[in-house]
Amino acid sequence: DIVLTQSPALAVSLGQRATISCRASQSVSISRYNLMHWYQQKPGQQPKLLIYRASNLASGIPARFSGSGSGTDFTLTINPVQADDIATYYCQQSRESPPTFGGGTKLELK
């Protein structure tokens, strides 16, 4: 299985930039397609798709969210961070079955 590694937590101030990373145990890219996706989960809620194929914003997601990366290293950026963004963020790969998720990064206020 492809293992995705995320830092457990990140502390950030409101209005600042947050950079959340996800590292895969092997490449999750095929040709020009980077098969890494990002989800946001607020406490007590279901996950919500934020970014698909590394850099594409899902429908209805604010432009302060962006994604980048290829191969094994990917980044989710939130700029500027707003209070509503306090949540846990998960990466997920669809390069190989089974689909796997990172352990999640909890975004906290500094």
Partner 1 sequence: EVQLVESGGGLVQPGRSLKLSCAASGFTFSNYYMAWVRQAPTKGLEWVASITNSGGSTYYRDSVKGRFTISRDNAKSTLYLQMDSLRSEDTATYYCTRETTLFDYWGQGVMVTVSS
Distance of closest approach, residue 35 Cβ to partner 1, in angstroms: 7
Token digits of residue 11: 């502390």
Dist CA 15 CA 67 (whole Å)? 18
Distance of closest approach, residue 69 Cβ to partner 1, in angstroms: 15
Instruction: Give the amino acid at 105.
Output: T
Distance of closest approach, residue 70 Cβ to partner 1, in angstroms: 17
Applying CB under 8 A, which of residues 48, 55, 64, 72 lies at the interface with partner 1?
Answer: 48
Dist CA 66 CA 44 (whole Å)? 24
Dist CA 49 CA 89 (whole Å)? 10
- By CB under 8 A, the residues from 76 to 95 that bind partner 1 are 90, 92, 94
Nearer residue to partner 1 within complex by CB, 59 or 84: 59
Distance of closest approach, residue 90 Cβ to partner 1, in angstroms: 6
> What sign has the CA pseudo-torsion 80, 65, 10, 45?
positive
For the chain, give the number of residues: 110
**With binding defined as CB under 8 A, does residue 31 bind partner 1?**
no
Task: Using CB under 8 A, list all residues that contact partner 1.
Answer: 35, 37, 39, 41, 45-49, 52, 58, 90, 92, 94, 97-104
